[in-house]
Structure 1
Amino acid sequence: KGGVKVFHLTAQPVAHTIAPGLEIEAWGYNGTTPGPLIECVEGDTLRIYVTNKLPEPTTVHWHGVILPAGMDGVAGLTQKAIPVGKTFKYEFTMRKAGTFMYHPHFDEMTQIALGMVGMIVVHPKRRDGRRVRDYSMMAHEWMIPIGSRRPDPMAMSDFNVLTFNSKAFPATEPLVAELGDVVRIRLGNLGPMDHHPIHLHGYEFEVVETDGGQIPKQRRWPETTTLVPVGAVRVIEFVADNPGDWAFHCHMTHHVMNQMGHDVPNLIGADTKGLDARVNKVVPGYMTMGETGMGEMHRMELPDNSISMVGGEGPFGLIDMGGMFTILKVRKQLTGEVDPGWYEHPAGTVAGEASAADLARDGIKA
């Protein structure tokens, strides 16, 4: 309007499903967590209205954006907090292309922990003409007591649900690409405490951008894992030249587990420390997790409003990961952005049991 791009964010409580069976009472923007993606072009002037429908004041900080101090969104320092029921206006010009984030700077521990985060993508004026599949992903962490709908915003450790775009596998959306596409994945982390080493199978990539700006081509190097610190953005790019279904996940092993609890209280007040050692004196070889460890978790009976520690069914059985895990699906040809289903491997390209002839040929004694 009048050369200005206008957006309206409503800060409000949000009923959100992290995965089938786990619904939470979160806070977010415009009915979602993370909030809506804000997109524009460098040089655009943005006018953003923020309406507060939370039970407490709030602000919005435009994380990484260079702007006038009075638009920075820090309650008490650069503005008064937005009272309940009121609408404030922010207006500023996006000086450079890049990937940024937004979040409150009032009662941050509560509001961010409950899901009030979002991403801003500022496209360059000049495009390079490449065919790009562009994905935006916000990493987040939650402490959700078993059976509860309310995340604990006071938690400073022992987060038990880790998410991409507030979804835990198997509810995360796959990333799809055609052979030859440039794939760009914008990774933002506004979680309360944890850094995330994000790893991609089957590919190497370059980190091309942070929330501080583009990285010159001569300063980039190939990686298969990039660390996304709290409060930071990392943008990775690669050419989709290797067909298949490829895991994309945080490499902190407990970040690919769902609702993994530690020191969980029990109804009879028993001290569970050293339980395995004590039981082993009576039943040698006993394992608390069963004979296959975490692999049996998906068969356990679950309390209401909770999900299995590990993921969902894949083409070869259980995918033994949950949480901050999704799948890159690269195909020769795609129809739009539709999930193409499981990859059909060419004959002879899937690992399987070695034959007696193979073992004998190579002198392997198994």
Structure 2
Amino acid sequence: MTFSRRSFLSASGAALLGAGFVSGRVQAASIPEAATMTEAVMQPPLIPTSGPDYNPVVTLNGWTLPPRIKGNWKEYHLVAEPVIREIAPGMVAHLWGYNGQSPGPTIEAVEGDFVRIFVTNKLPEHTTIHWHGQLLPSGMDGVGGLTQPHIPPGKTFVYEFQLRKSGTFMYHPHADEMVQMAMGMMGFFVVHPRDPDFRRVDRDFVFLLNAYDIEPGAYVPKVMTMTDFNLWTWNSRAFPGIDPLVVNKGDKVRVRFGNLTMTNHPIHMHGYDFKVSCTDGGWVPEEAAWPEVTIDCAVGQMRAFDFVADEPGDWAIHCHKSHHTMNAMGHDVATWIGVDRNAVTEKIQALVPDYMSMGASGMAEMGEMEMMIPDNTLPMMTGWAQFGAVEMGGMFSVVKVREGIATHDYSDPGWFEHPAGTVSYEWTGESQAIERAASPQFDASTTTEVQVVKPGTDHTNH
């Protein structure tokens, strides 16, 4: 992992303001350097070199914040600051985040660890951090005005607590929350079990669901938007800018996600069923884990599911709300399906020669055509694969299951090479069906005759 290092406040230069009292604060004699990351690509997992063993997580289009070990404490340094985030190639947004990115870096530790988290505020207004789902002293909970003073601009506060349970958590402000979360301030917090064999998996992916309302050509989100968002993202990235989830055939895989948008998201994965294994409230007992192919995640919730990657292929994973797999949605656009617009199109083209009328037969053409759009704007549907336009955007990625993927290798293996005879094909006639049935991929001996009974007929003898 490549970092640029920046030194911030030291004990000699500024007072350390604690968010609450925890025995051991006297050890906080200096502030660790704050690692930062500006690249919007998945970084390698941070493999533990001491302490309890665990299989580290990987963050889609993100990274894990390295701790400084000081005595019995794991120390982290988060810097709340303005950031520039590439939403997808061709568009960037001016957001607020942590350590150079939105979302901020993933914090990763082990059940029972003592953590000390320094938070430096480089925003133009005060802030705090709430540790969503963690069990901790009230004074460390991060609700500005209620459990602690706000962190003024230019100041550093310290949060200290012991990690009392393992699981899937997140962090976000509880100060001017509507603005700061709408601007992208959030991050993932994973606590691994003390027992390295407890619910262990081979690959562990994490991402946060977030959303923005950024007008075409603009750079800053409209923070007053309540429901009409036009960019639905995972880790502040939209397809085709979201990393694929690369998996070796046979791996046991966990996918964890949290929802900090303004609506629920039914996350659906193709090609597999899975078992829901964890929520932000804790682990689901193995005997109670329920099978799904789609799991809904409400606002403020976190979910994790597990599956064994036994079927190679390129398998879509996405929010099943169709508008959430689109970009730059215009909610006031009229529906023209079935309308003959040829006459009016000719008149408009006399004034604007490049004008194109679209939508009379659906919206698929928008995914295939390269149209002029304002600078710093994403097409509504975008992304290409080996068979053509994918016609997706927003909350969409691909689980790429392959044989021969090395441990801790998450590089994109390219598109799946389908075995002969396993891709849907155009029907050209009965002779083609006979020819395919005789091929090695199609065993005619396994054909089953199905008798179809029409409603209302007597089927007692069938």
| TM-score between both structures, scaled by the size of structure 2 | 0.73
Distance 1:276 1:220 in 2: 44
1:132 to 183, 189, 202: 202
2:274 to 180, 185, 205: 205
Deviation, 1:127, is 1.8
Query: Hey, what does 1:309 align to over in structure 2?
Result: 380
1:342 to 390, 415, 425: 415
1:97 to 146, 166, 172: 166
Query: Hey, what does 1:321 align to over in structure 2?
Result: 392
Distance 2:341 2:418 in 1: 44
Letter aligned with residue 212 of structure 2: W
1:229 to 298, 314, 318: 298
Distance 2:340 2:428 in 1: 40
What percentage of residue pairs aligned between the two structures are identical? 53
Query: Hey, what does 1:10 align to over in structure 2?
Result: 79
2:91 counterpart of 1:22: yes
Distance 1:138 1:10 in 2: 19
Distance 2:379 2:78 in 1: 34
Structure 1 residues 278, 328: closer, same or farther in 2, change over 3 A?
closer
Letter aligned with residue 227 of structure 2: S
Query: Hey, what does 2:133 align to over in structure 1?
Result: 64
Query: Is the CA contact (8 Å cut-off) linking 2:271 and 2:315 kept in structure 1?
Result: yes
3-state SS in 2 of match to 1:100 = strand
2:425 counterpart of 1:356: no
Distance 1:358 1:151 in 2: 57
Structure 1 residues 156, 356: closer, same or farther in 2, change over 3 A?
same
Distance 1:241 1:53 in 2: 47
Query: Is the CA contact (8 Å cut-off) linking 1:158 and 1:261 kept in structure 2?
Result: no
Deviation, 1:294, is 3.6
Aligned ranges 1:43-192 → 2 under 5 Å: 43-128=112-197, 130-191=200-261
Over the residues paired in the alignment, what is the CA RMSD in angstroms?
2.2
2:394 counterpart of 1:332: no
Query: Is the CA contact (8 Å cut-off) linking 1:162 and 1:258 kept in structure 2?
Result: yes
| TM-score between both structures, scaled by the size of structure 1 | 0.91
Query: Hey, what does 1:244 align to over in structure 2?
Result: 313
3-state SS in 1 of match to 2:323 = helix
3-state SS in 1 of match to 2:365 = helix
Distance 1:159 1:340 in 2: 33
- Render the CA deviation track for 1:97-149: whole Å, top value 9, x for unaligned: 00101000000000001100101000001122855101001111100011000
Structure 1, gaps ≥5 residues long: 265-272
Distance 1:332 1:224 in 2: 23
Query: Is the CA contact (8 Å cut-off) linking 1:176 and 1:328 kept in structure 2?
Result: yes
Query: Hey, what does 2:327 align to over in structure 1?
Result: 258
3-state SS in 1 of match to 2:324 = helix
Distance 1:32 1:281 in 2: 47
Deviation, 1:287, is 7.3
Structure 2, gaps ≥5 residues long: 1-69, 346-355, 438-462
Structure 1 residues 281, 190: closer, same or farther in 2, change over 3 A?
same
2:114 counterpart of 1:41: no
Letter aligned with residue 115 of structure 2: L
Structure 1 residues 302, 283: closer, same or farther in 2, change over 3 A?
closer
2:363 counterpart of 1:293: yes
349-358 vs 93-102, which deviates more? Answer: 349-358
- Whichever of the two has the greater Rg, that structure is 2
Deviation, 1:247, is 0.2
The structure with higher relative contact order (CA 8 Å, sep 6+) is 1
3-state SS in 2 of match to 1:109 = helix
Deviation, 1:261, is 1.2
